[in-house]
Amino acid sequence: MQRWIGAGVMGWIAVFAGWVWMPTTAAAAPGRAEVPAATVQQEYTATLPSATLVVQLDDRRSLVRRVPFSSTTSGLALLEATGLAVAVAESNFGAVVCAIQGTGCPAEECFCDDRQYWNYNFWTENGWQPYAVGAASSVIQAAGAVEGWRWGAAESQQTPADRALAAAQGLAWLHAQQDPATGGFGESFSAAVEVMLALGANAEKPASWLPASGRRSLETFWLLRVGPYSRVNAAAAGKVAVAMAATDLCQTARTASPAFWKEASTQQSPPDAGFAVWGILGAAALGEKIPASSLTALRAQQRADGGWEWQADFGSDTNTTSLAIQALIAGGESPASTSIASALDFLASAQSAEGGFVYDPRTMDYGADGNSTAYVLQALLAAGEDPEGERWARPDGTPFQFLLGLQQADGAFAWQPGTGGNLLTTAQAVAALLGQTYPFVVRPPESCAARRTRLTSEETISAQP
């Protein structure tokens, strides 16, 4: 890996791309403390301070990592300890972060885009502040420090850190619920799927999710049970596909893909919208071709009120409508289309004065809930809406404020105020707070057999003298 390591303040200074140009050498940079690799879910030693890193990939999508460190360290060392893919280039002028998790430029051409680069910030009570030194020269020593990286133009603003910090706390709570005997989350595989989607939203690997006491990882739990679940219906196969692509899991021989269900229903009437939307999202996640007929059928199921219903005669609801918006956009629909515009009007009719969303606008008296609000936030972001803007701000709050208000002291999110921590709500809140929409990642599946063969071959080659 090429590297550009930055240095201290001497002579003239030009702040650019999260680092500092100055006439000095890499040797002038202060020494860096060793930083143990970690992810947000790792158990932390009480004697080690930790910092939280928020990496914003574009105008809405963020990732969050909590990293322990000993004594003092630099921002670059912390970034490299997150486990994210980091491309760094070196020159006599200092360290330049070229790409993080595939966003940015290759190290060989670190400034391939002269309009965007990685901005480096730190969080204070007054919001994000830019560093006056490069990431290799910054000194982090306070426990609880929050570091920020934002890909964009110099004037681009990073999303407030409270959302990512809340997502990190939610993920930590979810990890604490992991069954030490199985590595899963109770007897319900669907609960594990929801947690896997939360991990995928944060680009985490389920192999690293181990219970505090126990040997089985979430990945092991998944691979042993995913086949039968994926064959329940098209919605199950679609959810599995979205989670599998986002977490880079291999596909077992018995795991059904959305294409399997499409072929199985060729001679039948179009599936109900709730099953169709997940089938489309799953196909998009695996890079499968989405037939125009599937998108046409989904549009035809839109009701007169602008919403979609999970099954016939259920009535329109915000959850299915939010998924339908994301499915159509994933299939190439313009966010400015009449269908999307009508769907957004339906969602607006389901918003409460507190800023949250109810499941069914016909029952506003039931009150807004966290699951519906999280799903609607994803739909709004996918459609290019600003959930904090005038259209979605209500007298007593915005959608994000409502969702954040449901978080408990232990990190869990309640379904509604006063109902206590809820696993499903917590898992779904994570993706919304990180600005992630379905599908999180597009990745063609690799069979588990092919992966074993590939890894064995790579190990053999690396072991050769």
pLDDT-derived band of residue 37, with 50, 70 and 90 as boundaries? very low
pLDDT tens-digit series, residues 161-210: 999 999 999 999 999 999 999 999 988 899 999 999 999 999 999 999 99
Domains in the chain (CATH in brackets) are 14-159 (2.170.130.30), 163-433 (1.50.10.20)
For 84, other C-beta atoms within 10 Å of its C-beta total: 18
DSSP 345-370: HHHHTTB-TTS-B-S-GGGGGG--BH
Which band of pLDDT confidence, cut at 50, 70 and 90, is reported for residue 269?
Answer: low
Rama region for 158: left / alpha / beta (φ>0; ψ in -120 to 50; rest): beta
Long-range contact list for 450-456, CB < 8 A, 24+ apart? Answer: 450/250, 451/250
Q: Which helix (H) or strand (E) holds 242?
A: helix 234-247
| pLDDT tens per residue across span 381-414 | 999 999 999 999 999 999 999 999 999 999 999 9
Q: What local confidence, expressed as pLDDT, does residue 214 receive?
A: 78
**What is the C-alpha separation between 224 and 253, in angstroms, rounded?**
11
Residues 106 and 88: their CA atoms lie apart, in Å, by 8
Lay out the sheet containing 127-130: strands in order across.
62-68, 50-56, 146-152, 117-124, 127-130
Burial class (CB in 10 A: 0-12, 13-18, 19+), 268: exposed
Pairing of strands 146-152, 50-56: parallel
CA distance 271 to 189: 23
What's the pLDDT score for residue 340?
98
| Predicted local distance difference test score (pLDDT) of residue 215 | 84
Tokens 């695996």 found at: 286
pLDDT surpasses 80 at 213: yes
Q: What is the mean pLDDT of residues 276-293?
A: 93
Contact 403, 417 (CB under 8 A): no
The pLDDT assigned to 463 comes to 64
Check: CB of residue 302 under 8 Å from CB of residue 270.
no
In this prediction, what percent of the chain has a pLDDT beyond 70?
86
Region 365-369: what's the mean pLDDT? 97
Under the banding of pLDDT at 50, 70 and 90, the label for residue 259 is confident
> Does the pLDDT value for residue 331 go beyond 60?
yes
Residue 35 has pLDDT above 80, yes or no: no
Q: What is the pLDDT of residue 95?
A: 86
Instruction: Give residues with Cβ within 8 angstroms of 88, minimum separation 6.
Output: 1, 2, 3, 4, 76, 80, 95, 96, 97, 98, 107
Q: Indicate the residue type of 38.
A: A
Residue 226's pLDDT band (cuts 50, 70, 90): very high
The pLDDT-based confidence of 36 (bands split at 50, 70, 90) is very low
pLDDT at 257 over 90: no
Q: Which of 134, 154, 149 is nearest to 67 (CA)?
A: 149
Average pLDDT over residues 422-450: 96
**Mean pLDDT, the chain, as a whole number?**
87
Stretch among 66-70, 255-259, 297-301, 405-409 having the lowest mean pLDDT: 255-259
Local confidence band at 464 (pLDDT 50, 70, 90 cut-offs) = low
Beta bridge partners of 128: 123
pLDDT at position 272 is: 92
315 CB neighbour count, 10 Å cutoff:
16
Q: Higher pLDDT residue, 31 or 63?
A: 63
Q: Does pTM top 0.85 for this prediction?
A: yes
Give the range among 128-142, 226-240, 341-355, 448-462 with minimum mean pLDDT.
448-462
